[in-house]
A and B are shown apart, each in its own frame.
Chain A
Amino acid sequence: MDLKKIRADFPMFENNPELIYLDNAATTFKPWPVIRKLEEFYTLKSVNIHRGEYDLSFKVSEEYDQTREKVADFLNCQSREVVFTYGASASLNLVAFGYGRKILKPGDVILTTEAEHASGILPWFKVAEMTGATIRYIPQGSDGQIDLKDYEACLDKKVKVVAIAQVSNVLGYHLPIQEMAALAHQVGAVISVDGAQSVPHMKTDFLGWDLDFLSFSSHKMCGPGGVGVLAGKYELLQKTDPYFYGGGANARFYVDGSIELQEVPLRFETGTPPIGEVLALGAAVDYLSDLGMDNIQKAEYELRQYAGAKLAALDNVIFYNPNAQAGILTFNVKGVFSQDAASYLNTRHIAVRSGNHCAKILDQIIGVGDTVRASLYFYNTKEEIDRFIEAVADTSLKSSLDFLF
């Protein structure tokens, strides 16, 4: 990959020459084709879809539908299995409330982990409360890894849903999701995969892996905010209730209160969607596909190994996930609270995240609640890593107070 050329595609770099952005698990920069697509929509064809008889609406509707096909190709599923939502959180809520709530009975089990993002687990807490189902956690090693044997031991006939992130936003391990789906299916459970941190970084094979539901956000994969995707097996989407009711979701409704819903997936896309943003997500999918998801994964892995080796060599650092595969490096500087460390790195123009990263029950596994997280994307460079490592080496309680004087 030609990093110089790639970085020229992202105006954020030129406009923020000092910034070293290592918070890509939170959100990513946007390349020109995505920005131009938004501009194209708002300046040339800013009309609604699936309603108007006029040409422009017809054209935009067509492009919207083509974007669904594009996303389906990207994930390897059928286009009728792609639901546009408002983001990963909306997708995850749709699975829990639209599907889980409908099928779960008292005594049923939702199997998950303590490392889930709040958006992956809180909907299930609520659905468990509403249905009488219970939550069960897969044991994780002290480094947060999951052993397939432990997972298998948690599966029994009571488990109806496995809700799990393919890549945790704190730990960064790649779960063997295909094997996990097969094992879930053996006991008759469905698997709902949180792909927020995996879909942007690696090739996805929805059909080949035999997934049931897959949720992710556009903004974490170079696309605009306000859009996400829920991919769901067609049979399962047919059994899923919409989360929102209203215009677009219904085909007909009657004075007696009965509703005929639209077909899948349109029944889930109530109200006017963020049309320009969906089209721009299509541009992001094209951009990533042109680079090649395998190339992206490989480049990120190499950079992660490069950064990880340097981080592990620093005496003042505790590095929690040296063996993870994703570009997520989670650590603390000894004697420095995570927020103070991140705040010091900020004075060196390095953007990282500190805190519990919305995974508030993970502390029981790695033994600390709060960490610093540096997360990479394909556009990061070794030079940026070098400067990051230098700054981490200089981080101490003392230096973290420098800004006050």
Chain B
Amino acid sequence: MSDILKDPEIMRQIIMDHYQYPHHHHLKEGDDVLSKHMSSASCIDDITVQLVLADDVISEVRFDGVGCAISTASTSIMTELLTGKTVDQAKDIIAQFFAMVDERDYDEEKLEEAVVFCNVSKQAARIKCATIGWQAVTEMLEEADEKGK
């Protein structure tokens, strides 16, 4: 078991830190920047996530917008986790994250701090919050794949 998972107070602190001081929390402009705006009527969150791809590597992940603690912290943790990964590595990490949220088997090591959301499905209404940023990246990577074809 990852060390983080052993201590709920550490998990709580990680989420609070990422919510109060989110990482990569400003957008940038540029021709090489992919952007995805995510908002929905059922969820209050209204965020934009950005990706910069350099060849096969995710060189930057950014986000901004209005979101709850769960969505902000989860997206912030995701930006840390995916920066510098290859597209294939990123897809694998995202798949692990969705597996965790869906209560399927997943690889803790690959998720690092993102394991703090392992119990989010206890409140079904919050799954959307925990996954909104991850969903945005998934969609951008799919769109990039389509274009590359």
Q: Give the shortest distance, in Å, between B76 (CB) and chain A (any CB).
A: 14
Which of the four size classes fits the interface of chain A? 20 to 34
Q: Give the shortest distance, in Å, between A239 (CB) and chain B (any CB).
A: 34
Contact A398 B12 (CB under 8 A): yes
Q: Give the shortest distance, in Å, between A177 (CB) and chain B (any CB).
A: 29
Enumerate chain B residues within 8 angstroms of A397, measured Cβ to Cβ.
Answer: 16, 19-20, 69
Query: Interface SS of chain B: helix, strand, loop or mixed?
Result: helix
Assembly CA distance A397 to B14 (angstroms): 12
Contact residues of A between 349 and 405, Cβ < 8 Å to B: 354-356, 369-370, 397-398, 400-401, 403-405
Contact among A336, A347, A401 with B12 in the assembled complex (CB-CB below 8 Å): A401
Enumerate chain A residues within 8 angstroms of B66, measured Cβ to Cβ.
Answer: 369-370
Contact B44 A370 (CB under 8 A): yes
Number of A-B pairs, beta carbon distance below 8 Å: 57
Interface string of B60-74 (1 = CB under 8 A from A): 000000111110100
Residue ID in chain B nearest A405 by CB atoms = B8
Contact A339 B129 (CB under 8 A): yes
Contact B69 A404 (CB under 8 A): no
Assembly CA distance A346 to B16 (angstroms): 20
Which of the four size classes fits the interface of chain B? 20 to 34
Q: Give the shortest distance, in Å, between A347 (CB) and chain B (any CB).
A: 8
Q: Give the shortest distance, in Å, between B10 (CB) and chain A (any CB).
A: 10
Contact A398 B68 (CB under 8 A): no
Given contacts A339-B129, A354-B44, A397-B16, contact A403 B69 (CB under 8 A): no
Enumerate chain B residues within 8 angstroms of A355, measured Cβ to Cβ.
Answer: 44
Contact A400 B44 (CB under 8 A): no
Which residues of A are at the interface with B, using a C-beta cutoff of 8 A? 336-340, 343, 346-347, 354-356, 369-370, 397-398, 400-401, 403-405
20 A-B pairs in the complex with CB atoms less than 8 angstroms apart: A336-B69, A337-B44, A339-B45, A339-B68, A340-B68, A340-B70, A343-B68, A347-B123, A354-B44, A356-B44, A370-B44, A370-B66, A397-B19, A403-B126, A404-B11, A404-B15, A404-B116, A404-B117, A405-B8, A405-B12
